[in-house]
Amino acid sequence: MPVLAFLAGAVGYYIRQLEILHVFDAVTGLPLRGSAVTYSLIALTVVFLVLIFLFSIYLAVKKRSPEGFSDAFETGQASYPIILSVIGLFWLMATIRYFAGIYTSGLMASVDLLFSSLSSLSAIATAVLAIDTYRSQEKKAALPLCILPALFMCFWLIVFYRQNASNPVLTSYAYTCLAIMFSALGFYFTCGYVFNKPAPGKTVFSCLAAVYFCIISLADHQTVGLRLVVISIIATNAVYCAKLIKNLQRKES
């Protein structure tokens, strides 16, 4: 299913590029009504969401996940801290790249500074959490750090909505908005395993949807640094989703 999310996202990315190039007017920004490209992307999105929704229902009915964070995501394996540490470092460098681009452009605002700070803390938290849970299976002082990425995505969602609330063309920003929303949900449900509130169906659905919409959002007009941050979020959701699916167990009759 994570592979399917990447494939569907790649197709959606290509269609989204066609939509941006040929559907939206270069001067007014208004879309052409009845465009086959727009309807194709909507149809792909609906089909993909239905598939992962059915898959998540199957997991909720037939499977159960370990309640603990370590058992659910295999934190005891060496691949876990290595992969997430690399992702965290990449995420941090992407945030620095974003901050540098905004700073040099002379358009720095307080919201950009807060955005960069929360993004950096989320990147560091991702790596520290992975290292701490791998080194110590008994004491996991870094577990509460899992909340930071969810808070960052919620903040990003608020900022993004404020920037686009007056835009009447919903299709111009809807996919990026959905990407941020499902990323927030993915991190939120992942945090549930820290507090003994596992929800495998909801977690998998949110993470897969986040991967799909984030890939599509890469086609939208964004700075290089912001695109790199989105790629980091894609990788994080994909790793958590793949680890969780691997460790699900069949429910006893």
What does the pLDDT look like over 140-195, one tens digit per residue? 656 677 888 999 999 999 998 888 888 777 777 888 999 999 999 999 988 888 88
Check residue 136 and give left, alpha or beta (phi > 0: left; psi -120 to 50: alpha).
beta
3-state helix, strand, coil in the chain (%, to 5): 75, 0, 20
The mean predicted confidence, pLDDT, of the chain is 84
Give the total number of structural domains in the chain. Answer: 1
Six-digit token pair at 121?
């803390």
Q: Are 91 and 119 in contact (CB under 8 A)?
A: yes
Residue 84 pLDDT exceeds 70 = yes
Residue 178 lies in a domain: no
Band (253; pLDDT cuts 50, 70, 90): very low
Residue 56 lies in a domain: yes
Least confident among 131-135, 206-210, 243-247 = 131-135
Residue 220 lies in a domain: yes
Residue 177 lies in a domain: no
DSSP calls for 105-146: HT---HHHHHHHHHHHHHHHHHHHHHHHHHH-SS--TTGGGG
Residue 115 lies in a domain: yes
What does the pLDDT look like over 87-140, one tens digit per residue? 989 999 999 988 888 777 766 678 888 888 899 999 988 888 888 777 665 556
- How many angstroms separate the Cα of 90 from the Cα of each of 14, 85, 202, 211? 25, 8, 27, 17
**100 vs 64 pLDDT, higher one:** 100
Residue 40 lies in a domain: yes
Range of the domain at 133: 2-172+183-250
Residue 22 lies in a domain: yes
pLDDT of residue 249: 75
Q: Is the dihedral of CA 138, 126, 179, 168 positive or negative?
A: positive
Average pLDDT over residues 32-53: 87
Q: Enumerate helices (H) and strands (E) in the chain, giving the number of each.
A: 9, 2
What does the pLDDT look like over 156-166, one tens digit per residue? 999 988 888 88
Q: Are 237 and 204 in contact (CB under 8 A)?
A: no
Band (77; pLDDT cuts 50, 70, 90): confident
The model carries a pTM of 0.87
With b meaning 16 or more CB within 10 Å and e meaning fewer, what string describes 121-149? bbbbbbbbbbbbbbeeeeebebbebbbbb
Average pLDDT over residues 62-80: 74
Write out the H or E segment, with its range, that includes residue 187: helix 174-191
Residue 52 lies in a domain: yes
**250 vs 26 pLDDT, higher one:** 250
